[in-house]
Amino acid sequence: MTANIQLLLIQLPVILGLYFVFLRSGLPTIDMEILYSFVPAPERIQMNFLGLLNLSSQSVLLAALAGISQHIFTRLSFPPPTTAKPTGDFQDEMQRRMRFMFLYPMPIFIAVIAYVFSAAVALYWVTSNIFSIGQEFLVRRRLEKKETYGNTITKN
């Protein structure tokens, strides 16, 4: 649970950096004074991703994909509730509330933020979530193999 919050805090400087590069730096114009002397000045800067999306503008599609992929990642990374009915235990209730907050309001919040900033931020978020989902599948598969092979070795 706290790992998700830590991952969000680690990603925050990258997201802010993308925001400042694509929206506040003045791209696609080039300020020659901030380039190193050994860096050749590019003739033209393309602000399009794969010729399809303008990364300096807003993208509803990428913002929606960011929210959906965040929901899928959260659903995979949080364990399902241990009991179907609330027990009244404080820790159990807190876990249920945190799971709900990360499953539903958090993806909506991320989709809104991804839309407000730029398509570059949304693209980063979608890419990061896709890699996180893939990593979650790999880790789960390895753990299942380890349990399966570990159980057969210990039985013999």
pLDDT tens digits, one per residue of 119-151:
888 888 899 899 989 988 898 888 888 888 776
* Range of the structural domain that residue 91 is part of: 2-155
pTM score, whole prediction: 0.70
Length of the chain: 156
Counting the structural domains of the chain, the total is 1
| Confidence band for 27, pLDDT divided at 50, 70 and 90 | low
**Burial of 102 (C-beta count, 10 Å sphere; 0-12/13-18/19+):** buried
